[in-house]
Structure 1
Amino acid sequence: MKKAPIQLADRPENPDLYWDLSALHNKKKAISFFKHVSTAFCVYSPSVAKLYSNFEVILSNMDRSGLIVLPNPYAFHDTFNRVSEVSIKQTGISLFPGEAINRGGFIVSIPVGKQRRNHHLELEVAVGFLDRLYKKRYGTPFLPVLVNGDLKEFKSQTPYLHLHRFDPTSLTEFSEFERNDICSTIRDRFSDIMVNSAYTPRK
């Protein structure tokens, strides 16, 4: 069965939803990778303080060198409003195809220790490790989200994603129910990557 071609769209009004790939050398590979893994993440837009959990990934019609994260306008319950930027933290953690280091599936690179040396763990192992680590450090599970600019490329032209995280303890103005709802949605999305861990990189 042939894969459906990526749809085209003009740039959105919200600049956070246009992901510029012009700096990447292997755009096809990056697009293929992002299309495969994006269903496992929520995307955060700091300019409108929204977290999107229901969206399509569409190729830009303007220059064909960018992706558009297009939220479903009818899925209001899948968009979280008033999510302050203070609740979205950088982690230094990245996700990339295992073929970059001659392994299968996905690999998670985690900076560990005072020297922040990167440890490469297979996805299934990394998920449990990060949950334990973040619960111990912050009292919350690891809740990965994406922000514009997180799709990058190694010098080998292998794409990777930097992972931000959602910190529910920072949203003090939200009720416990609201925070738990966001956490559950992020966790449900991320569990999808475990199902779709089989990945064949595009050349």
Structure 2
Amino acid sequence: MSSNENPDLFWDLSAISNKQLASNFFKKVASAFCVYSPSVEKIYSNFEVILPRDSNSGLIVLPNPYAFHDMFSFINNASIKQTGIMLHPGESFGHQGGLYLSLPMRGNKRSKMLEFVKGINLINNTYKAKPGNQLFLPVLVNGDLREFKAAHPYLHLHRIDVAELGNLSQFERQDIQDSIYHRFKQIDKLLVAPTA
């Protein structure tokens, strides 16, 4: 499937000043995420990140067309939730690698910045305490790659709520949950290496 057939696969970076830094960051961490396409209601867990030679204004998320078992269909938009959680490269804060999470705080407009392991432990404990002992299942959606002051890239993290997938069987929901959860666990390998 090309970006012409699915516009969600072309990520426009024209509003980002340091496109190379943003692209490098995305390519580095993309292996730990699944990508959701709202226009076709699919989640992709097997894809490449392509930087077009004829354009420096964006990147392409190119799903593996032969990996049908790594595509999940009939994922309704209502199941994809905004979290307000941001993923940052350590370099944005003067570190030689690693990742940081910016977490929204209730009753306070300011967010809380935590080193990744501490942040993800807090997030996981928060979700497990919710009814149904939920898992935090992050997915990326076109537009989630952004930048803040001094042209530092970051990723806004969406999540999927598999309880909203009432049109799918329990087996299908479990398969989606397991795929996203195990892919996200791969982010551990990125914590010791520079992200840009």
**Shorter-chain TM-score tier:** over 0.9
Q: Say if 2:105 is the partner of 1:112.
A: yes
Give the one of 59, 65, 68 matched to 1:73: 65
Could you tell me how far 1:129 is from its partner in structure 2? 1.2
Runs (4+) off by over 4 Å: none
Listed as ranges, the gaps of 5+ residues in structure 2 are none
Give the one of 156, 174, 187 matched to 1:180: 174
Between 1:109-118 and 1:176-185, the stretch displaced more is 109-118
Partner of 1:7: none
Give the Cα separation in 2 of the matches to 1:92 and 1:199: 25
Q: Is the 8 A contact 2:90 2:195 kept in 1?
A: no
Q: Say if 2:56 is the partner of 1:49.
A: no
Q: Say if 2:27 is the partner of 1:35.
A: yes
When normalised by structure 1's length, the TM-score is 0.90
Aligned sequence identity (%): 53
Partner of 2:90: 98
SS at match of 2:22: helix
2:48 aligned partner, one-letter code: E
Report the CA distance shift for 1:147/1:123 in structure 2 as closer, same or farther (over 3 A).
same
After superposition, the C-alpha distances for 1:98-132 in whole angstroms (9 at most, x for unaligned) are: 22223441000000122243111111112221111
Partner of 1:168: 162
After superposition, the C-alpha distances for 1:30-89 in whole angstroms (9 at most, x for unaligned) are: 111000000000000000000000000001244231100000000000000000010000
User: How many pairs align?
Assistant: 193
Give the Cα separation in 2 of the matches to 1:71 and 1:201: 22
Between 1:193-202 and 1:25-34, the stretch displaced more is 193-202
When normalised by structure 2's length, the TM-score is 0.93
Give the Cα separation in 1 of the matches to 2:89 and 2:67: 31
RMSD of aligned alpha carbons = 1.5
Listed as ranges, the gaps of 5+ residues in structure 1 are 1-9
Report the CA distance shift for 1:141/1:109 in structure 2 as closer, same or farther (over 3 A).
same
SS at match of 1:12: coil
Give the Cα separation in 2 of the matches to 1:86 and 1:30: 28
